[in-house]
Amino acid sequence: MPDISEHEPALEKNYGDWAEYFASLGEPPYRAAQICQWIWKRGVLNASDMTDFGKKLREKISETIDFSFPEISGYVKSDDGTKKFLVKMPDGTTVETALLRMGPRLTACVSVQAGCPVGCPFCATGTAGFERNLTAGEIAGQFIVMEKAAGRAINNAVFMGMGEPFLNTEATLGAVRTLNSSKMRGLGIRHVTISTVGIIPGIETLASSGLGARLAVSLHAAREELRNELAPSNLKYPLKDLMPALRDYQRFTGDRITIEYALFKGRNDSLTDARELARLLHGLHSYVNLIPGNGNRNGYERSSPENILRFQSVLKSAGFESDIRTGRGGEINAACGQLKNPSARNHVPNKVLK
């Protein structure tokens, strides 16, 4: 038997790689489309189950390809139907992902890094430290294993789990391509949202990639000093540079940008803060998601519902569309800024996911 470590990982192969692989075996090009369908549409991760390949070809694939994939090793479910999964990568690294239910639609919230180096002080992921970047296959693989667990198609993918997508841009965009390619998973690109804390080079790369995925930017503050505290990436990519970059992005793509703003009591939820945000966003075609901040971490407390409504009314008077995000999954710590919360590691072993 060949050494498994010498096998090529199926997880990291795109359609073009498969086409080359089958050409090297003297097989016709349509084999690439067949294997991509098995893996990314049907979630079949074993060559011997790929029944439209002959026995000899199945054996050859098994001898040369490593089908290790991320695996769900536990989950928690909340009353609103949100599930948080503990997902183990082939090398044993674990990340958390979430599957959110909104009416009949399912949204997968995937992680791009194990941990996060940005260190936002209110965020469970950020305060738990950084382990490593995930590969494109490990990111897209989370979607596929959640889809298998759900037993039906997932409608949307949001890159909002653990980690900052644009500190791992190549793998993030590779995962978007895998999910979007009609030869692979075939998820519509307008059903894919990448959420960044405002890493400017990544925003520029997304614009020039021509992919067309939606962009969400977590601002959390509209003045430099406060944002340096709430989103430390601001020290490197301050608002004075970020806002022109977002305007350039919009000129280039024509797309509306979603602005995420988590509200914390007495920190960034005053009427002055709301007016500053309205001034900052003036002229930018945007939609503002107001997120009741999660948990009591490092002294950050959730804003009161009254304050959030007052904040929203300032934005409304200034002509901005906004929404107050319901904290789906909050009680299992699957909400924004809560994945990898050590106090929430109460997953049950993965037996029956209902």
Q: How many CB atoms lie within 10 A of CB 178?
A: 27
Contact in structure between 186 and 155 (CB atoms under 8 Å): no
Q: CA 265, CA 296: separation in Å to the nearest integer? A: 11
E runs forming strands in 117-243: 130-133, 156-159, 192-196, 214-218
Binding pattern to ligand SF4, positions 76-115, x when CB under 6 A? ----------------------------------------
In 300-337, which positions are buried (b, 16+ CB within 10 angstroms) versus exposed (e)? bebbeeebbeebbebbeeeebebebbebbbbebbbbbb
The number of residues that bind ligand SF4 (CB under 6 A) is 12
User: Of the candidates 9, 81, 90, 119, which one interacts with ligand SF4 according to CB under 6 A?
Assistant: 119
**Could you tell me the smallest distance in angstroms from the CB atom of residue 125 to ligand SF4?**
4
End-to-end CA distance of the chain: 39
User: Of the candidates 11, 108, 139, 197, which one interacts with ligand SF4 according to CB under 6 A?
Assistant: 197
* Among 327, 125, 333, 318, CA closest to 222: 318
Residue nearest to ligand SF4 (CB): 126
Q: Which is nearer to ligand SF4, 128 or 318 (CB)?
A: 128
User: Of the candidates 70, 74, 126, 330, which one interacts with ligand SF4 according to CB under 6 A?
Assistant: 126
User: Of the candidates 65, 72, 116, 187, which one interacts with ligand SF4 according to CB under 6 A?
Assistant: 116
120 binding ligand SF4? (CB under 6 A): yes
* DSSP structural state of residue 308: H
Piece in contact with ligand SF4 (CB under 6 A), picked from 39-47, 58-66, 121-129, 313-321: 121-129
Piece in contact with ligand SF4 (CB under 6 A), picked from 56-64, 96-104, 162-170, 325-333: 162-170
**Could you tell me the smallest distance in angstroms from the CB atom of residue 194 to ligand SF4?**
12
157 binding ligand SF4? (CB under 6 A): no
Element (H, E) at 33: helix 30-36
User: Of the candidates 18, 337, 341, 344, which one interacts with ligand SF4 according to CB under 6 A?
Assistant: 337
The CA-atom distances, in angstroms, between 75 and each of 149, 311, 352 are 10, 35, 10
Asked about 109 being catalytic, the answer comes back as no
Q: Which is nearer to ligand SF4, 47 or 194 (CB)?
A: 194
**Could you tell me the smallest distance in angstroms from the CB atom of residue 69 to ligand SF4?**
24
**Could you tell me the smallest distance in angstroms from the CB atom of residue 65 to ligand SF4?**
33
Asked about 96 being catalytic, the answer comes back as yes
- What angle in degrees, to the nearest 10, is found between the helix axes of 200-209 and 169-180? 30
Structure-block tokens of residue 257: 């940008």
Catalytic residue, candidates 27, 36, 96, 138:
96
The CA-atom distances, in angstroms, between 2 and each of 26, 63, 331 are 21, 7, 47
123 binding ligand SF4? (CB under 6 A): yes
DSSP-derived pairing of the beta strands 156-159 and 192-196: parallel
Q: Which residues bind ligand SF4 (CB under 6 A)?
A: 116, 118-120, 123, 125-126, 162-164, 197, 337
Q: Give me the active site residues, please.
A: 96, 336
